[in-house]
C-alpha cells in the first residue's frame, strides 16, 4: 500500500536543508538545486521524523505511531508527477488481509531558519553555467603513444579531407571556432598534402590490423594533425577524440603531439528514442539532441512510436505529434551523422481508438486470430517504413496484457497465442527483407528471472499482466529475430543475455537512465557476447528532462573502462547540448539602458503594497541579485541599483493579479536607436503559482525593426 503525506513545491523548497530520525549514513542532507535523476530520486527512507529548513518556512513531519514509515523523494524529474514536487509518502509491505492498520502523522510549519541570501550565497554571476563538455565524452584510447612537442592551432590553419569525410570537416571547423574563436581555412586535397600545415582527415588507414569498421588513427606532430579511418563513422569519432584533446595554455590553443589508435568494445551502440508528443516541437532542438548522442558515439538510433501517433499520420491529421515531414528531416540529419536508422512501434493498443484490431476486453494486444486485424496493423507499419526506410524494425511486444483472456476464448495456451502473433509479423517483415527486433521480457519466466532472483525484467507468468506462460514460446520463435533484453534496475550481472545467446538469438542489451546499471550491463554484454548496448529515453520528449536518459550508455559500450564522473554530469552535459549555442568571441557587447522603461524594483520595500518584481513580498523578490556588471551564459549584463526598493530597475511586462492585469504601466518599450545588432539578449525571470507538466509559453517579445518589419520571440 502506498499513500502520500505531503507534497512541497520543488521550485520553492530546492536548496532547503534536510534532517531525519533515525539518522543513518547516506541520508540526504538537502533538496538539491538540480532535480535528481529517476533511480537516484529516493532521498530518505524509513523515518519517524523529517525536518526541512527552508527560506519560506520550516516544516516538520512526524510519524506518531513510530512505525518508521516516512519516505522522501525528489519527483521533479518524474513524468507522472505533474506538480514536480518534493514528495513525502509511505510504502507499506507485508500487510495481512482482514486486518485494520492505523497510521497518524503530524505536520508542523514554523518560521524559516534560512534567508534568501543564505540560500543563494555564491550563485551570483553563474546563473547559466558554461561547462566544457569535452572531458565528459573522452575515453582512453586502446593505443596511445605520447611524443614531445605540441601542435598549435593558429588562424588560417588549413583543414581538408578526402571526399567522403566532408561532414567530419564541418564538425571540426565549427567546434574549433566555437571553442577557440579561431577560423580554419578549408582547402582541397592536393599532391602536396604531406607538406601542408593543418588538419587532414582521410578515409584510409595504414598498417591496420584491427577489423572494427569504426577504427581510427590520429597522428599529431608539431606541423600537422592527420586523422585516418576505415569508415565514415570512424572519421567522425576520431574527430571527436581530437576535439577532446584541445586545451589552452596562456593565450595558445594546442594539442599534445601523439599517436592514437582506437576502436569500440561493442559493435552496436544505440538509443531507443521514444517519439512521444513533444513539449516543444522543434526540429532544430531534435538535431541538437542527436548531436549529443553522436558525440557519445552511438552508431544506431531506434525511433519508437506510440500507435496513436501513427494513426494520426494515417488519417492525415495533426494532433501535436511530430509530423511525418519533420521526421523525414530528422532522419536525414541522423544519417548525415552516419547513424544507422531503425523504426519501431509499440504493441499496446486502446480498443476504443483501434476497433479494427478486434481487441478483447481486458487486453491491449491486437487479436492474433483475426486476419483483418493484421491487415490494419501492417498498414500502420507501412507508414513507419515509408518515413524511415529503416534497416530493421522494433515490434515491441513487451508487457503484454490479458493474453490469458485470448487463451480462454480460443482454447489455446498463452505461448501458442504469443508465438502466432510474433510469427505472423515476422513473416510479413521477412518478405520485405527487414530484420525484426523483439522485446525479451515475455520470453522470461517471472518465477525464475524476477528482480529478486537477480536478473530484472521478466513478465511471462507475471500476475500483473495476466498473460500466462508466454516463455514457452521461446523455442518456436525464429532465431534470426534479435532480442532486446531490457533491464532498468542496477544488477551486478545480467545472465539473461547468456540465456538468450544459448537459445541461439542475437542479443541487444538495453538500459535506461541509471549510469551504474548501464555500466554493469555493458560488462555483461561483453562477457556473454551480446551484439551491442542500447540506451533509452522514455519520457524525454514529453518532459524535456535530460535525466530521462543518460549519455553514458554508448560511452560504456565504446570503452568498458570509461569512468563515471561525480554528480549528475550526464544530465548537465545533455542539458548544455540542448541549449542553443552562439559564439560571442568576435562580438562587441553593449548593455542597453532600460532606466526610462523600468517600472518595478527588484527589491521589495516593506510597507508598500504591490512593490517588488512580483509584488509578493521579500521572499520572492530579487534582492540577492547584486547590482553591477556580470556575465551570465557568456552574455554581458549591467544590473541597475534598486536602492533597497526606492528605485525602479526592471521592467515587469505581465502580472496575473486581477487588479493589475490590464495596467498599462506593465507594458514596456525598449528602444535601440541607431544600433545594429547581431543578437539581442534579455535577462528575465518569472514566477508561476501553478506548476505545469509541459514547458509552455508565458509571453513574447515583439520586435519592430527600422524598416517596419516585425517578429515575435
Residues contacting 222, CB < 8 A, separation 6+: 149, 150, 151, 152, 257
Sorting pLDDT into bands at 50, 70 and 90, what band is 298? very high
Three-state DSSP state, 41: coil
Three-state DSSP state, 173: helix
The span from the CA of 28 to the CA of 331, in Å, is 42
Q: What is the DSSP string of 627-668?
A: SEEEEETTEEEEEPP-TTTTS--B------SGGGTT-GGG--
Query: Which pairing describes strands 224-229 and 216-220: parallel, antiparallel, or unpaired?
Result: antiparallel
Scanning the structure block, which residue is given the C-alpha cell 529517476? Answer: 38
The span from the CA of 225 to the CA of 621, in Å, is 53
Q: Is the confidence at residue 136, as pLDDT, over 80?
A: yes
List the beta bridge partners of residue 229: 216
Three-state DSSP state, 262: strand
Phi, psi angles (nearest 5°) of residue 680: -130, 135
Q: Respond yes or no on whether the N-terminal peptide bond of residue 489 is cis (omega within 30° of 0).
A: no
Q: CB burial class (10 A; 0-12, 13-18, 19+) of residue 269?
A: buried
User: What tens digit of pLDDT does each residue of 310-322 get?
Assistant: 999 999 999 999 9
| Nearest in space to 458 (alpha carbons), one of 470, 444, 447 | 444
Sign of CA pseudo-dihedral 174, 179, 181, 186: negative
Q: At what angle do helices 414-431 and 371-388 cross, to 10 degrees?
A: 40
The span from the CA of 201 to the CA of 188, in Å, is 11
Phi, psi angles (nearest 5°) of residue 510: -135, 130
Q: Respond yes or no on whether the N-terminal peptide bond of residue 22 is cis (omega within 30° of 0).
A: yes
Q: Count of alpha carbons within 13 Å of 161, Cβ hemisphere only?
A: 21
Q: Is the confidence at residue 129, as pLDDT, over 50?
A: no
User: What tens digit of pLDDT does each residue of 437-463 get?
Assistant: 999 999 999 988 876 555 568 999 998
Q: Is the confidence at residue 107, as pLDDT, over 90?
A: yes
The span from the CA of 400 to the CA of 405, in Å, is 12
Number of other residues whose CB lies within 10 A of the CB of residue 4: 10
Q: Which residue has the higher pLDDT, 554 or 121?
A: 554
The span from the CA of 97 to the CA of 95, in Å, is 7
User: What tens digit of pLDDT does each residue of 605-627 get?
Assistant: 876 666 777 777 777 788 888 89
The rounded mean pLDDT for the chain is 87
Three-state DSSP state, 309: helix
**Residues 670 and 594: beta-carbon distance below 8 Å:** yes
| Nearest in space to 281 (alpha carbons), one of 341, 329, 315 | 329
User: What tens digit of pLDDT does each residue of 635-661 get?
Assistant: 888 999 999 888 999 888 766 555 554
Question: Where are the extended beta strands (E) located within 340-440?
Answer: 340-345, 393-394, 436-439
Q: CB burial class (10 A; 0-12, 13-18, 19+) of residue 94?
A: exposed
The span from the CA of 483 to the CA of 530, in Å, is 10
The arithmetic mean of pLDDT across residues 78-104, rounded, is 87
The span from the CA of 491 to the CA of 613, in Å, is 50
Scanning the structure block, which residue is given the C-alpha cell 541520508? Answer: 27
Note the helical H segments in 432-578. 446-449, 496-502, 515-528, 540-543, 552-558, 569-578
| Nearest in space to 403 (alpha carbons), one of 477, 469, 307 | 469
Q: CB burial class (10 A; 0-12, 13-18, 19+) of residue 460?
A: buried
Sorting pLDDT into bands at 50, 70 and 90, what band is 84? confident
The span from the CA of 225 to the CA of 220, in Å, is 5
pLDDT at residue 186, as a whole number: 85
Three-state DSSP state, 475: helix
User: What tens digit of pLDDT does each residue of 529-549 get?
Assistant: 999 999 999 889 988 889 899
pLDDT at residue 484, as a whole number: 97
Scanning the structure block, which residue is given the C-alpha cell 532472483? Answer: 453
Q: Which residue has the higher pLDDT, 592 or 5?
A: 5
pLDDT at residue 192, as a whole number: 56
pLDDT at residue 662, as a whole number: 46
Amino acid at each position: 500500500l502506498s499513500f502520500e503525506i505531503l507534497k512541497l513545491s520543488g521550485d520553492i523548497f530546492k536548496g532547503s536543508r534536510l534532517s531525519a530520525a533515525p539518522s543513518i549514513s547516506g541520508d540526504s542532507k538537502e533538496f538539491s538545486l538540480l532535480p535528481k535523476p529517476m533511480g537516484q530520486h529516493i532521498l530518505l527512507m524509513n523515518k519517524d521524523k523529517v525536518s526541512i529548513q527552508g527560506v519560506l518556512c520550516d516544516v516538520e513531519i512526524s510519524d506518531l505511531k513510530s512505525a518508521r514509515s516516512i519516505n522522501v523523494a525528489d519527483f521533479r524529474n518524474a513524468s507522472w508527477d505533474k506538480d514536480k514536487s518534493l514528495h513525502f509518502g509511505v510504502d507499506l509491505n507485508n500487510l495481512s488481509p482482514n486486518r485494520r492498520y492505523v497510521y497518524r502523522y503530524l505536520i508542523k510549519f514554523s518560521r524559516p531558519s534560512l534567508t534568501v541570501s543564505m540560500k543563494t550565497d555564491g550563485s551570483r554571476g553563474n546563473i547559466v553555467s558554461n561547462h566544457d563538455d569535452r572531458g565528459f565524452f573522452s575515453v582512453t584510447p586502446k593505443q596511445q603513444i605520447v611524443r614531445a612537442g605540441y601542435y598549435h592551432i593558429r588562424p588560417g590553419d588549413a583543414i581538408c579531407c578526402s571526399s567522403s569525410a566532408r561532414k567530419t570537416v564541418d564538425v571540426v571547423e565549427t567546434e574549433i571556432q566555437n571553442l577557440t574563436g579561431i577560423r580554419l581555412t578549408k582547402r582541397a586535397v592536393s599532391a602536396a598534402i604531406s607538406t601542408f600545415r593543418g588538419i587532414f582527415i582521410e578515409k584510409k588507414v595504414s598498417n591496420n590490423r584491427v577489423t572494427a569498421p569504426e577504427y581510427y588513427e590520429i597522428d599529431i606532430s608539431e606541423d600537422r594533425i592527420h586523422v585516418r579511418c576505415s569508415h565514415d563513422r570512424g572519421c567522425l569519432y576520431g574527430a571527436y577524440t581530437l576535439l577532446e584533446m584541445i586545451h589552452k595554455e596562456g593565450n595558445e590553443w594546442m594539442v599534445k603531439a601523439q599517436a592514437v589508435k582506437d576502436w569500440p568494445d561493442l559493435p552496436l551502440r544505440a538509443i531507443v528514442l521514444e517519439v512521444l508528443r513533444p513539449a516543444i516541437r522543434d526540429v532544430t532542438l531534435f538535431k541538437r539532441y542527436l548531436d549529443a548522442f553522436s558525440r557519445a558515439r552511438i552508431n544506431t538510433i531506434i525511433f519508437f512510436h506510440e500507435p496513436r501517433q501513427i494513426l494520426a499520420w494515417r488519417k492525415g491529421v495533426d494532433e501535436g505529434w511530430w509530423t511525418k515531414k519533420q521526421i523525414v528531416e530528422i532522419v536525414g540529419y541522423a544519417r548525415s551523422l552516419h547513424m544507422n536508422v531503425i523504426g519501431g512501434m509499440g504493441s499496446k493498443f486502446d480498443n476504443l481508438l483501434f476497433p479494427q484490431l478486434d481487441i478483447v476486453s481486458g487486453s491491449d494486444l491486437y487479436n492474433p486470430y483475426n486476419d483483418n486485424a493484421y491487415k490494419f496493423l501492417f498498414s500502420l507499419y507501412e507508414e513507419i517504413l515509408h518515413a524511415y526506410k529503416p534497416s530493421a524494425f522494433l515490434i515491441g511486444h513487451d508487457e503484454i496484457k490479458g493474453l490469458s483472456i485470448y487463451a480462454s476464448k480460443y482454447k489455446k495456451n498463452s505461448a501458442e497465442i504469443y508465438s502466432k502473433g510474433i510469427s505472423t509479423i515476422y513473416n510479413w517483415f521477412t518478405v520485405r527483407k527487414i530484420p525484426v527486433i523483439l522485446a525479451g521480457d515475455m520470453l522470461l519466466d517471472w518465477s525464475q528471472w524476477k528482480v529478486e532472483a537477480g536478473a530484472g525484467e521478466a513478465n511471462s507468468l507475471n500476475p500483473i499482466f495476466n498473460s500466462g506462460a508466454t516463455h514457452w514460446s521461446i523455442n518456436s520463435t525464429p532465431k534470426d529475430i534479435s532480442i532486446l533484453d531490457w533491464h532498468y534496475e542496477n544488477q551486478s550481472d545480467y545472465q539473461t543475455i547468456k540465456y538468450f545467446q544459448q537459445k541461439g538469438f542475437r542479443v541487444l542489451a538495453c538500459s535506461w537512465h541509471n549510469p551504474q546499471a548501464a555500466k554493469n550491463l555493458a560488462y555483461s554484454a561483453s562477457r556473454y557476447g551480446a551484439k551491442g548496448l542500447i540506451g533509452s529515453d522514455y519520457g524525454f520528449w514529453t518532459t524535456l528532462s535530460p535525466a530521462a536518459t543518460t549519455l553514458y550508455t554508448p560511452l560504456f559500450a565504446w570503452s568498458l573502462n570509461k569512468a563515471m564522473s561525480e554528480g549528475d554530469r550526464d544530465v548537465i552535459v545533455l542539458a548544455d547540448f540542448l541549449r542553443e549555442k552562439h559564439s560571442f568571441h568576435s562580438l562587441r557587447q553593449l548593455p542597453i539602458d532600460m532606466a526610462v522603461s523600468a517600472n518595478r524594483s527588484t527589491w521589495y520595500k516593506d510597507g508598500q503594497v504591490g512593490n517588488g518584481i512580483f509584488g509578493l513580498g521579500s521572499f520572492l523578490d530579487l534582492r540577492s541579485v547584486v547590482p553591477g556588471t556580470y556575465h551570465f551564459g557568456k552574455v554581458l549584463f549591467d544590473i541597475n541599483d534598486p536602492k533597497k526598493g526606492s528605485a525602479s530597475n526592471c521592467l515587469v511586462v505581465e502580472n496575473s493579479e486581477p487588479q493589475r492585469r490590464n495596467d498599462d504601466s506593465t507594458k514596456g518599450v525598449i528602444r535601440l536607436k541607431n544600433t545594429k545588432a547581431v543578437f539581442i539578449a534579455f535577462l528575465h525571470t518569472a514566477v508561476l503559482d501553478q506548476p505545469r507538466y509541459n514547458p509552455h509559453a508565458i509571453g513574447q517579445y515583439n520586435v519592430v525593426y527600422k524598416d517596419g518589419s516585425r517578429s515575435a520571440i
